[in-house]
Structure 1
Amino acid sequence: MTRSVWLKADDTVGDWETRRERITAGLEAGVDVVLVDAKDVDRVRELGQVTVAAFVGDDVHVMDNDDDDYGEPDIRVVGKGGEGDATVELPSDFSGSADLTTLRRGNADASYVRILDQDYETFAQEAATEADYTVVIGEDWQIIPLENLIARIGDETELVTGVRNAEEARTAFETLELGADAVLLDSGDVGTIRDVVDVRDASEREQLDLEYATVTAVEETGSADRVCVDTGSMFDHDEGMLVGSMSRGLFFVHAETAESPYVASRPFRVNAGAVHAYARTPGGGTKYLAELGSGDEVQIVATDGSTREAIVGRAKIEKRPMFRVEAETENGDRIETLLQNAETIKVATEEGRTAVTELEAGDEILIYYEDTARHFGEEVDESIIEK
């Protein structure tokens, strides 16, 4: 499931200057959708590229009024100033609902409902049968109504739940294990916006089970075309990439974050090995190091198995002397890779950060192992021999 963050920036949050500052903070943080009033659609698009959702009224022709000359939003939301936010009383018979009629006629894509009581929860469920997105705002409620909505309408619509901070966003994404599809953040605080985006990213990232393998050989092999992967991100000291000659067994190679007497640190770089090797990418895929170029996405991995994404800025390919490193996994499988013969290339062993030039047979080296075959970087259910 792909999670998303919506940012509320309609006229209830303040004047245009206040709204503009909030929207700008959201764009810089990486929110997915900005929810505004119809009059602000074009203004938002002038600030940057983002999906724009806008409130429309129960008058289904409001967006077609030439006098208003409003831009067309990507997502039309009904409910503000209507039944959804209790401006208009809920009808006893939902067949007479103006909000639902707008959805049924295809003049809105999303419903906006404040969950004031059980009746509004039922109304949200009814709206979800017609809406691509159902935005629900809790009033003094936490988990139970959200659990009900996820269980009852989770497959019918994209459920967007209102939150005010990162902790509420985390709860929304984790409720009933499935969680909400998105959150609508009502905050103009720059730190809070960034924190909620971080929660979104963390909810989608893999947690890998790394293990140790026993080094069985470290041999000089002569020169090969070596790839340095220079990313657009700064690595932490315990981070690197997973690379290897066999896709089933990838070695953890540290980023060049450590200072050296011979060369300055390059905390955006991983000296990843020879051109033939696989590098792990987000979502469980792999790419050959030779394929990587500016704009590609690679997976950053920490020694505890946590992951995040980085964009490749460039890949530097140069001929360098190499080591062949071979290791045996716990189940007796042999895996290997080629790494440059240089003291600045570090791997992770049970003893800690270790230069490949100091690596010896018998050392325990950190790897990621999965007993699967790959074709064009994707897992396949067939027998492939790599040696």
Structure 2
Amino acid sequence: MIPTPVVVDVRRGAIADLAGLLADQRISAAGRVAIAVGPRSGEALAAQVRPYLSEAEFFPVADGTVDAALDLASRVRGGSYDAIVGIGGGKVLDATKFAATRVGLPMVAVATNLAHDGIGSPVSILDNDAGRGSYGVAAPLAVVVDLDVVRRAPARSVRAGIGEVASNLSAIADWELAQEVHGEPLDGLAVALARTSAEAVLHHPGTLTDDDFLRVLAEGLVLSGVAMVVAGSTRPCSGACHEISHAIDLLFPDRSGAHGEQVGVGAAFASTLWDDPDGRARGELITRCLVRHGLPVDPAGLGFTWEEFTAAVARAPETRPGRFTILEHRDLDQAGVAAAVREFARQLRESREG
């Protein structure tokens, strides 16, 4: 049995039907739920659902830290609720998933932007005293994406999700490499879900102004989360691309930016480390997608120098001990990393000039 969401509702006006979804799916017939909302648009969103959920109680979530998640769990534990509903961006949803798992309640994710694949994943990314950590949690029981609400989110936060989904191709290649070199078990269904979500976004002709593209992006992010549930790990969606992003977060915690942007650049770079035609084609496909949607394709677009990016690539393998990717396979020393980054820069220059 695979614990996938019982319902995925992606459309305009979906948030207005939240009460009906809870009742129809037997999550909470009376609407007795705890609703976690963020500090920015939380009150406005609460006002939208309060008329339909008079029995619900609302809990503000200060930020995406372990402390905030534990505080939410403590406050919810004192009540009698059928479920916890998280309404917000990635930080709110991750804190809510963590809290729901802590108190043993089902969680419903109502995403207000499409920045990353945490919408439906069994992982919470939370800040802690040591930086940022990944915590295994129960995946959401239901996922709601209201396209009207998503359209009101900052374009950058929605655009970042494109880099997140596109990077799946890089992560899958790393997983297949680990199977070939070390015999690591590979789950075909997880790969199929992650690859399908990536290719649907990479080949879609639309933009962020199109409802159809936003729907495909939202569904791709949800499918990525389900792929991780199937795999029992983040393997199908996290490889060298994510190691590089984690290294950026560790080395430059005050300057790291949108996760989806960082993994997009990480995937574009990692693809240049392969010496086969498939690797090069994969890199070109990812890079073209990033450029077409206005995402960064190089360190400068992320706000870093090439030297800082080189330092992040060198540090990247340390961020996920035991995970084998193209970075571990190449096993580059400092000089080798610097040469690989220079080659990446050269290829980008030639692509722009061409």
Bigger strand fraction: 1
The question of a shared fold, defined as TM-score above 0.5 by the shorter chain, is answered with no
Q: TM-score when scaled to structure 1? A: 0.25
Higher Rg = 1
Bigger helix fraction: 2
